[in-house]
Amino acid sequence: MMDGSGALGRLGIVTTPIGTLDELREQGIDPREVACCHAPAPGVIRGCAIEKECPFHLKRYGGFKGTGGPKYVGYFLQTHEGNKKEDFCTCVVFVRTLLARQRAGMAARQEGKPHEIIRVVAQEGEKIITRISVPVNELDKSPTADYKYVMAAVEVPKFPRPGQNEKISYDQKLTARELARQRAEDKFEDELADTAARVTMDDNDQQPVVAEPVRPEVFMRAGVKSGKAG
């Protein structure tokens, strides 16, 4: 899973963890630009935005926080109405969508109130019991074929590691090239701005006067590439 939506995504920055810090470094992926299963360190490691809330260091949740995440986990859910299911999701999705509900259910249970039950019940490679949709007639391949639900034991899949996802490496290579181009452009504009702000001498009293910074586009419209305008 790779999530780089919005402005950060357009820069090739991935905000959802894709592996451990060591895995990113082994693959030559910049941990400043790609999230990983690690506490954030501003300017050094993007890390995981929900690291503080993450309970996956606990044995009953899998005990892989910081050393083996992210991972898929299987969970059991029973709603207030008594509907039940087993399913799987990533640890990140669990924290973002189910953890608060789980804790609210625990609190309600202690108070003797109706409550939801949510618990992690399987790790990668282990099986959960779920329902899958299958055709009533296996020979009917038409778009209008009838389907039915059946119970099935499904293995919790393994989360793809950084070295198994070529797209991530390719994206990061292009990101590095684009950021280098942006830095070159920024440096050029800063040099022009510094030139525009240099000290000039007032014609009347010969006192130093600092000119207001002028953005590069002003010089370009005036046909001045570098040096003092005059």
| pLDDT higher than threshold 50 for residue 230 | no
Classified as helix, coil or strand, 138 is coil
- The reported pLDDT for the residue numbered 206 is 55
Average confidence (pLDDT) over 39-52: 95
- The reported pLDDT for the residue numbered 134 is 87
Task: List, as own/partner pairs, every contact residues 95-100 make where C-beta atoms lie below 8 angstroms and the sequence separation is at least 24, other chains included.
Answer: 95/50, 95/53, 95/54, 95/55, 95/56, 96/50, 99/53, 99/55
Residue 98: CB atoms within 10 A of its CB come to 19
Token output for 125:
């490679």
- Domain segments of the chain as ranges: 6-164, 174-222
| pLDDT higher than threshold 50 for residue 99 | yes
Give the model's confidence band at 143: pLDDT under 50 very low, under 70 low, under 90 confident, else very high: confident
- The reported pLDDT for the residue numbered 218 is 45
Q: What is the reported pTM?
A: 0.69
| pLDDT higher than threshold 80 for residue 199 | no
- Which DSSP helix (H) or strand (E) runs through 148? strand 147-155
Give the model's confidence band at 25: pLDDT under 50 very low, under 70 low, under 90 confident, else very high: very high
- The reported pLDDT for the residue numbered 138 is 86
- The reported pLDDT for the residue numbered 130 is 93
- Are 17 and 92 in contact by the 8 Å Cβ rule? The answer is yes
Rounded Cα distance between 47 and 66, Å, is 10
Q: What is the mean pLDDT of the chain?
A: 83
Q: What is the pLDDT of residues 168-187, one digit of tens each?
A: 667 767 777 887 888 888 88
Average confidence (pLDDT) over 88-111: 97
Rounded Cα distance between 171 and 23, Å, is 16
Give the model's confidence band at 210: pLDDT under 50 very low, under 70 low, under 90 confident, else very high: low
Higher pLDDT: 6 or 183? It is 183
